[in-house]
Amino acid sequence: MTSAKKIMVSGIQPTNKLTLGNYLGALKNWVRLQNEYECYFFAVDLHAITSRQEPKELADNTLFALATYLAAGINLDHATIFAQSHVRQHAELAWVLNCFSYMGELGRMTQFKDKSSRAGETIPVGLFTYPVLMAADILLYQTDLVPVGADQKQHLELTRDVAIRMNNIYGPLFKVPEPYIPKVGARIMDLQDPESKMSKSVSSELGAVFLSDPPKEIEKKFKRAVTDSGAEVTYAPEKPGIRNLLDIQSAITGRSIDDLVKSYSGKMYGHLKVETATIVSDELRPLQERTQQYLADKGELQRILREGAARAATKAEATLKAVYGAIGFAPY
């Protein structure tokens, strides 16, 4: 890893229910871009506890997330991988940024509005301040690029606003990061409700494809995918279900949407569904096999996390120290 490279940072919640959306919106792009950057990828376990977690499962899921990153092709020569909770600077900088973020701007976050409306009477404060922790995750590493799905664009804008605000007060503390939102695959939709994003916690059983789904399950989900009235495969606004299947194919194969649409000329929706299922299964099968291989050596995964956390902490501490100094905390 050379420090002359630009810095890329991204995270995914540790879960054994990663969706095809997480994979195509985020993870696949981490792999694609990693050679050009010095990368920091982490399992965001501090974010995960904004909804109640089973303690034993959370720890296992963190190892599962790491195994999935490695299986997808993240290369430790380019990337530092760790668990967010192991690098204490994330929580510390988040507190400082909380004091420079405004209730109004956090209240406008659509993810907060969506998730809090589902939380019932007791909305955790952490759900409200989630974007501030995400800003800390990014700003700690003097990040240039953050590859995320389209749902995170608003949080990235908040990160930029807070960085600029603090830089204006104290001088250049933070690099102002750019989002990387892929052209195709940035918003994979629910197979049963193609107007809503595919999501591990909200989608119905048939609506989300999980990275651990066996081929039969994948085939069932795509065969039952909600499409639209009509029969012709086109990429049209009134056909969100068909558009979603074409987006999934394009994000995996790299073929253009035009090319795909042409190849379905004269064919039925059924063809598109079955072929999309096959393409997804073929992509996920080796990923699943490799994930299990990595999971077979938990000791090695823990070693990778420990080393990753130590490296990340060194980088993060330099930023935190500068921030503490600029604010006026006594030197330590």
267 has catalytic annotation: no
Q: Which two tokens stand for residue 308?
A: 């990753």
CB of 153 to ligand AQP, least distance (A): 8
Options 197, 221, 239, 273, the catalytic residue: 197
How buried is 246 (Cβ within 10 angstroms: 0-12 exposed, 13-18 middle, 19+ buried)?
buried
Is residue 149 part of the contact set for ligand AQP (CB under 6 A)?
A: yes
Binding test (CB under 6 A) with ligand AQP, winner from 152, 249, 276, 281:
152
Binding test (CB under 6 A) with ligand AQP, winner from 200, 223, 311, 321:
200
* Options 1-9, 11-19, 209-217, 261-269: segment touching ligand AQP (CB under 6 A): 11-19
Is residue 198 part of the contact set for ligand AQP (CB under 6 A)?
A: yes
Site for ligand AQP in 20-59 (CB under 6 A): 21-22, 24-26
Hey, which bits of the chain come out as E strands? 6-12, 37-43, 79-83, 145-147, 178-180
Options 5, 6, 153, 200, the catalytic residue: 200
Helix, strand and coil percent figures for the chain, each rounded to 5: 55, 10, 35
Cα-based torsion angle of the residue sequence 228, 232, 233, 235 in order, rounded to the nearest 10 degrees: -70
28 has catalytic annotation: no
* Options 102-110, 182-190, 216-224, 229-237: segment touching ligand AQP (CB under 6 A): 182-190
How buried is 173 (Cβ within 10 angstroms: 0-12 exposed, 13-18 middle, 19+ buried)?
middle
* Options 17-25, 30-38, 116-124, 258-266: segment touching ligand AQP (CB under 6 A): 17-25
Nearer to ligand AQP, 133 or 277 (CB): 133
Region of 35 on the Ramachandran plot (φ > 0 left; ψ -120 to 50 alpha; else beta): alpha
DSSP 298-330: HHHHHHHHHHHHHHHHHHHHHHHHHHHHHHTPP
Task: Give the active site residues.
Answer: 115, 197, 200
Interface residue list for ligand AQP (CB under 6 A): 12-13, 19, 21-22, 24-26, 148-149, 151-152, 186-188, 197-202
